[in-house]
Amino acid sequence: MYLRADSSKCSGCRACLLACSLYHFGENNPKKARLVITPHFPDPGTFEVRTCTQCGECAEVCPVDCILQNEKGAYYIDAQECIACMACVDACPEGVIFIHPDYEAPFQCDLCEECVSYCGPGALYIE
């Protein structure tokens, strides 16, 4: 199972970012979301959506093997075992492993599907 994005459908509303941060952290803070919406200016209404492709490169570079897969097949970082070396952040080809000053360990998409539920234009979907 994978989270996919059709950037051509993205309106830039950022509802997905809000849904993600509320679900995982209980906060209205898009900087704590696990996907990226990048506006492309000067073209109004053009946005790029980046999500985890579940490529596994993060797990390959983790020196303490704390990046595991959940029951949906999504890679996730075991924050209790993470040494915060940030090798996974540097290795992610999509740039979707995130750090935030409130947390020692980085975090990434776990395929919770909350963003899909709130994406009005249908830019996000599970495949």
Mean of the per-residue pLDDT values of the chain: 94
Number of domains in the chain: 1
Model pTM?
0.89
The CATH number of the domain holding residue 45 is: 3.30.70.20
Which is more confidently placed, 17 or 127? 17
- DSSP secondary structure of the chain: --EEE-GGG--S--HHHHHHHHHHHSS--GGG-SSEEEE-SSSTT-EEEE------HHHHH-TT--EEE-TTS-EEE-TTT-----HHHHH-TT---B--TT-SS-B------HHHHH-TT--EEE-
pLDDT the model gives residue 117: 95
- Domain, as residue range, for 61: 3-126
In tens, the pLDDT along 33-59 reads: 999 999 988 777 799 999 999 999 999
What is the reported pLDDT for 1?
82
pLDDT at 45: 78
Averaged over 23-33, what is the pLDDT? 95
Q: What are phi and psi of 18, to 5 degrees?
A: -65, -50
